[in-house]
């Protein structure tokens, strides 16, 4: 059961990360006129968050598949990833989710949901 929860959390993160990367150009264009530097920073940050989600999801898959949920290191990895997700969710809740963009409003729930699954998986 712990492995299944971890894999669901990982899938959520990987899918959410891909959903960040796919519309990068459209997101940048939706901000209208920006200086070249501001556009580059916006794109960089948008891509960085997508890569972060994919990387954390991949880490969960690898740790679960290679070490298994019975390994003493696995709950530590799950806790660290869960903490990072809650921190990113908090940042998004305080910033992006205060805009009218629906994806920013959904993001904290996706990240917190994945974190909760990891916490439960680490306890089982």
User: How would you write the pLDDT of the chain (124 residues) with one tens digit per residue?
Assistant: 999 999 999 999 999 999 989 989 888 888 899 999 999 999 999 999 999 999 999 999 999 999 999 999 999 999 999 999 999 999 999 998 888 878 889 999 999 999 999 999 999 8
In total, how many domains does the chain have?
1
Q: Supply the range of the domain harboring residue 64.
A: 2-123
The model carries a pTM of: 0.92
Pairwise CA distance, residues 3 & 69, whole Å: 6
Structure tokens at 100: 């009218």
């Amino acid at each position: 059961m712990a492995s299944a929860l971890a894999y669901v959390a990982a899938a959520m993160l990987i899918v959410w990360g891909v959903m960040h990367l796919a519309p990068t150009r459209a997101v940048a264009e939706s901000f209208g006129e920006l200086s070249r530097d501001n556009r580059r920073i916006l794109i960089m940050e948008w891509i960085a968050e997508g890569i972060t989600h994919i990387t954390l999801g991949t880490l969960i898959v690898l740790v679960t598949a290679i070490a298994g949920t019975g390994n003493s290191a696995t709950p530590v990895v799950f806790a660290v990833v869960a903490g990072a997700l809650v921190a990113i969710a908090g940042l998004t809740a305080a910033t992006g989710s205060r805009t009218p963009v629906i994806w920013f409003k959904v993001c904290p729930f996706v990240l917190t949901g994945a974190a909760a699954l990891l916490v439960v998986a680490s306890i089982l």
